[in-house]
Structure formats: structure tokens, C-alpha cells
Amino acid sequence: MIQQTASYRKRIGVGCCALLAAVVGLFSWNSANSWAIQDAAQSAKSAQPTEPTKPTEPTKPVDPTPQAKPAGPRPTRSLPTAPPLVSEPAALDFGFLLPNTPGEGTVLLRNTGASPLTINMVLPSCKCTTISDLVGKEIAPGAAIELQIKLDGAPATGVRRSSLKISVDGFGRAIDIAVKAEVSLPVRIVPPYINTVEQKNLSGRVVVESIDQKPFRILSTLGGSISVEGFDSAKDEPRNSYIVAYDLTALRDALPPFIFIETDAPGAGIVDARVRQTGAPKKPMIQVSDARCNLGTIAPALAAEAKFTIANAAVMVESASTPCADALVTLARTEPSKEGGTNVFVTVTPRSGFSGILVLPIVLKTSTRPAELEVIASVRP
């Protein structure tokens, strides 16, 4: 039994040795073949023709001096300041202008800096102002250029304001020029309105004065209790200024829209002051440039012509009338206005025997809706 076991172990050992020798042999064969394949591939690659090597260009020496960029147009930057440009005078005040009369004047734009200035914009604040064309004009240092300004007239009395903005190349801010005028008849009421909002100032005083300082008389008044203080028309000479007291207390529940004063001053037969009150004033149902027309002094039984301008040229006026028996009203004619609307001319004939202040409602019948307007006048033989 022991001999068999030893013989068996001997056979196992011999088998293991044989197996190990086989494995080692296989590994050696694989390694040899791998190296042989690599050698063959390397030989084949070496046998292929090779491209000629390009000669290397010599390295240029580096210049340590920074290279300047080629010259060219540079973007301009505006300074966040106004230019050294002044207006002489600084503002333009036309003073008093009669209704529908334009104001014309000039200012000098002077360069107070050390470099030339080029104007790139002159912009009015409204269409009522026209100016001469100065865009692109250059002003040398110390020199000045003339700017012509025209302010259109207006039918309604009161202060009229406009302004101009002038900008210059290279500066981010513009300079401003104020333009002002007061549209007035030869006689005016100061202040031009009475503020009765919330039932305040129902009584008080206003000044009636001539703007040319010429004397005149007050003939009559309309719109509440109105009296001239410190003046006796029977014995006192005419003045160029009056203090007029008014009292609207009795009319507090139905305040008039205006108070009226009739004078004998040429061109100022009737002047008025608006009574400001709670609620917006009544406006016509179609857009017109001014819903009121002051005819000044007219004669009884003689026709006078009132003018209104409708903004929309497509509105056709068919007739004109009045509910008042103190005058006859007819449509005279229509014509295109320069603003693109329609001028409407209405004939007003005060009845024979009428004298004094005429406040006449006018109704225009149109192709769209009626327009309620007003004519005022002093009617004197």
C-alpha cells in the first residue's frame, strides 16, 4: 500500500513537471513570435521611401519695442458738459404782441472757447417757432453767428412760451434759449383770470391798463357787480390804468365763464378775464384752434366777419346760426388753412339799435357733429 502511494506521487510529480515545461515553452514561443513580428514591421517601414525634410527657417529676432497701430478714424466721445457757447441775449422776449401777430428777432451764438464749434442741432420746443438753418455751421473761437427766431401769433390773449435746444459736436449737453411773448390787446386785465375754485375769491380787484400807457375810458362791464374805484367819469380825465372791483357772490351758484369790460381804446373795444371754477371749461365738440373770436368794436346793423379754424379738413361745414336775437349769423365761406385744416368765416350783423357788449353763441352745423363757438364784440354806432 505504501509502495503504491509512493509510486502514485512519483507519477504526479513527473506529470506536473511535464505540464510546467509545456507552459514555459508556449510562453517562450509567443514572445519570440511577437518580437519577430515587430522586427518585420519595423523593417518594412524602414524600407519605404521617406519625404525630404524641409529646411527650417531661421528665427527672427524679437523687437522689444511695441508696434504702433496704423493710424485711422477714432470714435468720437462727447464730453458730458455743455459747449462753450453762449446766447446774446440769453433769452428772447418779444414783449407784447397783438393777437395773430408774429414776433421776430435774433440772438447771437458766441463761441467762448479756444476751439471751433460745429452746430449739429437746433430744435424748437413747438411748431409755433421757426428758426434759420444753422446745422453744420462752424463758429470760430471768439466769433459769433446769428440765429433768427420767429414766434407765430395766436388769436387768444395770454403768455406764449417756447424754447430752443442747441447742441454742438463733441458735447453731450445742449444749451437752452427761452422764447417768450404776451399776446395782448392794447388794453389788458391783470391778472388775466379770477380763480374762484372752491368758491374762493368771489370778490376782489383787478387792474385794467393800457400797455402803451395811453389814456382810455371804461364804457361798460358785464358779468356780476363791477365798479371802477376812485374814478368819477363825469369829472375825471381818462387814465391809462384803473382799479376795478368785482363781486360774484350773487352768482355763486351759476358763475359766468368771463367778466367783460368795454373800453374806448382803439383795438381794445372789449377785454375779458376768465373766471376759473371747479370743473373743466366747456369745449366745442369738434377741434378748433380757438373757440372764441373777439371782433373788437363793430357797428349796429353792419356785417362783420368772424374767423374760426377747424383742425380736421375732412369736416364739412354746412351752416352757421345763433339762438340769440341780438344779431344775425350766416356762413360766409370756407377755405383750406395753412395748418391743414379749414378756415370758417361767419358773418355777424348786430341788430339795429343794439349797443354795448355783445356775447354771441355761434353754432356750426357740420358733416359730423355741431360745434358751439362764441363771438364777443363792442357794438357802438
**Tens of pLDDT along 69-99?**
344 344 455 677 889 999 999 999 999 999 9
Number of H helices, E strands in the chain: 1, 24
Q: Is there a domain that residue 67 lies in?
A: no
Amino acid (1-letter code) at residue 362: I
* Local structure of 154: helix, strand or coil: coil
* Host H or E run for residue 110: strand 103-111
Note whether 231 and 177 are same-domain residues.
Answer: no
Asked if 308 and 346 count as a contact pair (C-beta separation under 8 A), the reply is yes
Note whether 197 and 179 are same-domain residues.
Answer: no
Note whether 268 and 293 are same-domain residues.
Answer: no
129, 135, 139, 144 alpha-carbon torsion, rounded to 10°? -20
Note whether 299 and 329 are same-domain residues.
Answer: yes
pLDDT single digits (tens) 353-373: 999 999 999 999 999 999 999
**Whole-number pLDDT of residue 284:** 67
**Whole-number pLDDT of residue 71:** 41
**Whole-number pLDDT of residue 77:** 57
* pLDDT bracket for residue 281 (50, 70, 90): low
Note whether 301 and 217 are same-domain residues.
Answer: no
Note whether 241 and 316 are same-domain residues.
Answer: no
Asked if 327 and 305 count as a contact pair (C-beta separation under 8 A), the reply is no
Domain interval for residue 136: 85-183
**Could you tell me the pTM of the whole model?**
0.71
* Host H or E run for residue 178: strand 175-183
Q: E-assigned strands of 216-367?
A: 218-222, 225-229, 241-247, 258-263, 270-276, 292-298, 304-310, 317-321, 327-336, 342-350, 356-366
Whole-angstrom distance, CA of residue 162 vs CA of residue 178: 6
**CATH code, domain carrying 263:** 2.60.40
Burial 27-62 (b: 16+ CB within 10 A, else e): eeeeeeeeeeeeeeeeeeeeeeeeeeeeeeeeeeee
Note whether 205 and 137 are same-domain residues.
Answer: no
Note whether 158 and 202 are same-domain residues.
Answer: no
Domain count, the chain: 3
**Whole-number pLDDT of residue 39:** 46
Whole-angstrom distance, CA of residue 196 vs CA of residue 251: 11
Q: E-assigned strands of 300-339?
A: 304-310, 317-321, 327-336
* Average pLDDT rounded to a whole number, residues 328-352: 95
Return phi, psi of residue 45, to 5°.
Answer: -65, -40
Q: Which residues, at least 6 apart from 366, have a Cβ–Cβ distance to it below 8 Å?
A: 286, 310, 315, 316, 317, 318
Q: Is there a domain that residue 60 lies in?
A: no
Q: Is 301 left (phi over 0), alpha (psi -120 to 50) or beta?
A: left
Q: Is there a domain that residue 46 lies in?
A: no
Return phi, psi of residue 207, to 5°.
Answer: -110, 130
Note whether 179 and 217 are same-domain residues.
Answer: no
Give me the chain's average pLDDT, please.
Answer: 84
pLDDT over 50 at 40, yes or no: no
Q: Is there a domain that residue 58 lies in?
A: no
Q: Is there a domain that residue 170 lies in?
A: yes
pLDDT single digits (tens) 245-273: 999 999 999 999 999 999 999 999 999 99
Asked if 329 and 348 count as a contact pair (C-beta separation under 8 A), the reply is yes
Domain-ending residue, one of 183, 212, 232: 183
Q: Is there a domain that residue 14 lies in?
A: no
